[in-house]
Structure 1
Amino acid sequence: MPGLSDLARRLGHQQWFATVFRVVVPLDRLVGRLTRGRVVALGVIPSLLITTTGRRSGKPRTNPLLYVPDGDAYVVIGSNWGQPHQPSWALNLLADSTARVTVKGREIPVRGRAVSGEERDRLWHMLVSEWPAYQTYLTRAGGRDLRIFRLEPTA
């Protein structure tokens, strides 16, 4: 759906878009589960489901995320739609780097690693190419570090 995908990328910079889609995330999570990860973000942008372990509860927590591929790994960013605080899934991943991703119906065990330096710069450019609104989210987050993770398959 190139037309819908282009429209989403243009609208992604708007504050109302982030507000609406933060509310839609539970529905997206449900659609992702019902389709076993085949449809996430309504199939408009490359997305996956990440399941981390809650750092306080110890329970599995699943969230839909946009990703870009990097070799056999998946690159995600803790943008939280530009909110001033880190998303829970990112904090969970920092506490326990083991996770699972579901991509196009395949469940894959991964280890998440926060990236820095030149690697972070390279992956940032890849992420912004896929979703230009990340640049807007960085500004909206007041300069808060938007952590970038490389999710590397473990099996």
Structure 2
Amino acid sequence: MDLHGAPHVQRYLETNGEDGYHWRNGTTILLLFTTGRRSGEQRSHALIFREHRGAHLVVASNGGSDTPPAWFLNLLADPDVEVQVRGDRFRARPRVATPEEKPAMWASMVEAWPDYDRYQATTSREIPVVVLERVTDAG
């Protein structure tokens, strides 16, 4: 099943990732929930990810467009996000990878989806790697 966009998110949610977690070329997908910076409504996005030292990495590529994806602008405006990996949904704190850590993280993401290198070559915008760190509630 080759899912995209809203149908991908819907099937993922309905099946706790049974349909939608595994995607093209061996990639894995998480769902990112942001708050629309203009609408204030919850937005959901199916994104290729890789685990990295207990966090989840995603790439704000927008297919190599000169403008970042809406989800990236939303999380910059309101960093209170949720992530779902299969049936595990949790609050996360997003941050952009630092210049020191980005090369290794970028290499990991390109291994998952080689087109990221092509996307970067087509835009003057530096495509960020976003690190999604699980928030644990104290008490």
1:102 corresponds to which residue?
84
Q: Could you tell me how far 1:132 is from its partner in structure 2?
A: 0.8
Equivalent in 113, 124, 133 of residue 106 of structure 2? 124
1:5 corresponds to which residue?
none
| CA RMSD, Structure 1 to Structure 2 (Å) | 1.8
Alpha-carbon distance in 2 for matches of 1:137, 1:40: 23
> Aligned AA for 1:57?
S
TM-score normalized by the length of structure 1: 0.78
Alignment gaps of 5+ in structure 1: 1-7, 9-20
1:148 matches 2:129: yes
Note if contact 2:22-2:28 (Cα within 8 Å) is conserved in structure 1.
Answer: no
Q: 1:48 to 1:33 in 2, by over 3 A?
A: same
DSSP-derived class of the 1:67 partner: strand
TM-score normalized by the length of structure 2: 0.87
1:26 corresponds to which residue?
6
Q: Could you tell me how far 1:36 is from its partner in structure 2?
A: 2.7
1:90 matches 2:72: yes
Greater Cα offset, 62-71 or 43-52:
43-52
2:38 corresponds to which residue?
56
1:137 corresponds to which residue?
119
Q: Could you tell me how far 1:41 is from its partner in structure 2?
A: 5.8
Note if contact 1:79-1:86 (Cα within 8 Å) is conserved in structure 2.
Answer: yes
Q: Could you tell me how far 1:84 is from its partner in structure 2?
A: 2.1
Q: Could you tell me how far 1:135 is from its partner in structure 2?
A: 0.4
Equivalent in 61, 67, 73 of residue 55 of structure 2? 73
Q: 1:39 to 1:71 in 2, by over 3 A?
A: farther
Alpha-carbon distance in 2 for matches of 1:81, 1:116: 22
Alignment gaps of 5+ in structure 2: none
DSSP-derived class of the 2:76 partner: helix
